Chain A
Amino acid sequence: MDRDLAYCSLVDLGRLLDERQVSPVDIVRAVLDRVDRYNDRLASYITVCGDAALAEARAAEQEIGRTRRRRGRLHGLPIAHKDVSLTRGVRTTAHSRCLLEYVPDRDAAHVRRLSEAGMILLGKTNTTEFACGTMDLFGVHRNPWDLGRYAGGSSGGSANALAAGLAVAATGSDTGGSIRVPASFCGIVGLKPTYGRVSRNGLLPLSWSMDHVGPMARTVADCALLLNAMAGHDPDDPTSARAAVPDFTDGLEAGIRGTVLGVPRQHFYEGLDPDVDAALRGALRQLESLGARLEPVDLPLAPHVVGPGGILIMAEAYGLHAADLRQRAADYGTRTRRRILSGACYTSAEYEEAVRIRVAWTRQIVAALEQVDAVVTPTLPHPAFPVETQLAGPPDTSWGTRHFNMSGHPALTVPCGFTAAGLPVGMQLAGRYFDEASLFRIAHAYELATSWHTRRPALEAAAA
């Protein structure tokens, strides 16, 4: 167990709370202390709920003291939400001038569920504007492994806060990879659940058919714990599924002997940065040594999914933003405005064709997942790039992730190594619909056999 509370896992913190070794106030103070020290440099948070979080922590402490038990395994633990999730009484800006003064009068469904589970709102984390563009107002979220590099978008504030000990749990949204990309860049775990698994009610939308909400944490078990509270049918989200919700922490320890993992022949292992390639090859050998069987799988459409996916996202985003763009286009950041405006320019025939490619791709990946339990890929072909690259015009980081927004399959990233320059590398696991449990089991087995998730960025040295 890490001696620093701000770096402990949720599982360990829960144990410490159960044993009365620490109180919720101790945990919140430990994390807030790091937020005070490092948020200026990392730009993790847009809004920090310091006093309110401490008040909530005191209330949790009293409740636990009075009842002699915690409401559940998340009770008394703090969480940070990406600033595209509505939070009652706490401003929700989406990093946009359009919403600078917006204070919602309700919580997003996942915020409410985690709050009902007893979690304490620590603050709202940084994001690219509307999860797709510029970062003009609150700074660019930086990578704690190298402050000159980008944390990844769009849930970069959640990811860099976790990696730097400025949060112990967080949520993010993922329309083309926005949970998995920053999680990979920052060396943490992030899950995009199955489409429909977690309600999007109260999430500021970007693309109705591609948006997902999911958990982010430093360990696989912590992500499973968070999904337990977040998942479930919500009648207020018409795309919410009526799928049964298991306890995702059950079976985590079952191991992966006999598990069949698909290694795509096309796209995902082509053109990789040599250090990423080496990390993935090492991870595949590790998975084999744990008893998994690797099988090549054919996904010939994989190289062609990202472009049509971009048409779907921007056409849908334009639909949502059209009225505001007519009235206040200048309030949008430059890149955000341009990207969303592109959505006005596709024809319905092009949108329909992109949908057809989505269906054809989905059939391919569904067929592959009938042959294997999960597919293993790099999350990105390269490690985090410099902040200057992000500002000048970044590469499309959804190279390996948008595929599973298109198909709706669950996909998780877990740290699987570091480059020679000390930057994290992520491995993506994508599984069958509503089978997040298998992804957790595979990733947990891998995590137990490796130590990548235990490394800490040297922020103190960087600060000196």
Chain B
Amino acid sequence: MTRFAKNSLGRMVPAEVPGVGPFDPYSGPFQRINSVHGIVGASVRLRTVDRHGSKIAASLEQAIKNSGLENGMTISFHHHLRNGDAVMPMALETLKNMGYKNLTFAPSSIPDAHDCVADYIKCGLIGRLYTSGVRGRLGGLISSGEAGIPVVIRSHGGRARAIEEGQIEIDVAFLAAPTCDKLGNISGSSGPSACGSLGYAITDATYAKHVIAITDNLVDYPVARNISIPQYRVDQVVSVNSLGDPKKIATGAARITRNPVDLKIAHDTFRLMKVSGIIAPGFSFQMGVGGASLAVSVYLEEYMKKKGIVGSFGLGGISGHMSRMLEEGLFRALFDVQSFDAVVTESVSGNQNHVEIDSSWYANPFNAGCIVHNLDCVILAALDVDVNFNVNVLIGNDGVLRGASGGHCDTAAGAALSIVVLPSFRGGVCSIKDSVSNVTTPGETVDAIVTERGILINPLRQDLLALARGAGLPVVDIGDLKSRVEKLTGVPEQQERAGGEVVAVVEYRDGTLIDAVYRPER
């Protein structure tokens, strides 16, 4: 019988996840961070290789044999190749054929295309799942409760912390390497499968007990430019024909939306940023590539140009639009943990101020300074929100897992101004709930929510509220907007959640449980 605890948001979370271990309930965004100073984290396993030897393994199978991987151990992957990635399926299939069972599958996230992971759970290869998100058939399998394995969902910063704290002990990291030499120097920004930054992989390579680089672009030693991961972190190199589909790895730059609802949201978001006074010299910024987020940057770009404002840095998942703003001199630097399109890849390799950063540097709360803690403003998307400003980015209106935690809670906690953008209703359902089906990001770290029908400001930010009202922005009360929208959409039946079967737990970035995912009632 699982014991439950009520966390400080009133969510019932298990005190222990069988097969994983005990968890503390969430108690506030900075509670645990403030008490962590001085504790000792994970150790790095030392190993040496022969002088003048070779790291080239004849095959992936051979490399796996050499690595000493055993049943029950933990394997990791990165998701920088996005939906073009063929490395996760290739490695999982090889492991299955080699007869492995009950591995802990701990990728940085799982691309949408990888429904096949569901099959590797069903056949017993994957016995535990640690990820940032799950979607599609995999999301369906886990939500149904039929996966029968423990699932822990972590943010990008939370995953880096869990690795450095020792909760995720990576036994073998399988790293897709767009360019690699025979001793394992890896670059992400060149080669037929170039993807730009390898930010998440850098952390894995640093802490994994054994690292296998898998490349389709084995070049003469040395890879000189833009080394993402240095040779001293890499144990073996495997050459394969292809890492995946280059068209899906290096996608074209996202277009600015013409959706009028998104544009309205973007414009009001920009106006809120402006009245907050945060767009000043030295300004730092992160945004997503969703319709409304990306459109905010168009207004921002024009404004910064006109006013001659030079920002300090752009952060995050970097889009083509951000790299253009770097080129235009609107930011002095970009810190890039994950590149979103082909234009960015060129910027990573060509622009010295476009800096590839690892996930710990990006968002790990338990180090001496991750960049999100220095961020002025972040624009975030959401699936839905509740009247306490809590944000869900994981579970759809049908109760099924269909999203990723990403850097959402990390940046919301870190940024001085965190703004969630979302349409007031989607698919005929109001986006504002009494209580979200899942809290991914706590409302106490969200400053404002911008919808096409008004701007909602967290009562914790009376200063911002006064500025927005003073400037005549369309500020509305979150409860009022909810009722107004529900007049259009009707009120959906609330799903029963507590007491049901837990199919996954959601960690806050500090390692405490912010929520659990329950099997939806059928």
| Genuine A/B complex | no
Which residues of B approach A to under 8 Å, CB–CB? none
Which residues of A approach B to under 8 Å, CB–CB? none
